Amino acid sequence: MIKSAILFVLAGLAEIGGGYLVWLCLREKKHVFVGLAGGIILVVYGVIPTFQDYPNFGRVYAAYGGIFIILSLLWGWGIDKKKPDHYDWIGSAISLIGAAIIIWTPR
């Protein structure tokens, strides 16, 4: 369970971080190498979930979605200085509960 959670967090940081670098390159006119670094990180993001022990691609990505939502809000708070409101936290909690049900419910 700990390995799974760590991999979800690493995947989220890679996806958000890589996407953010591409955003900076294309939207804020940062150097092209910033965008290329973001693209490489996004490729790494695509590899990280393959280390999950779960055999079903769809369930892994569905569960990852809940983690991604939380990490996105935290990224926006820390990097963009946009503090999440109560509704953001409620929605995040619901998505995280859904992710846990999807991935950790015995079948």
Chain centroid, CA 58 distance in Å: 15
Mean pLDDT, rounded, for 87-97:
94
8 touches 50 (CB < 8 A) = no
Task: Return all residues near 99 (Cβ < 8 A) that are at least 6 apart.
Answer: 62, 63, 64, 65, 66, 67
Q: Give this prediction's pTM.
A: 0.83
Between 1 and 95, name the one with better pLDDT. Answer: 95
Q: What is the pLDDT of residues 15-72, one digit of tens each?
A: 999 999 999 999 999 999 999 999 999 999 999 999 988 888 888 888 888 889 999 9
Hunting for tokens 């804020």 — which residue is that?
Answer: 28
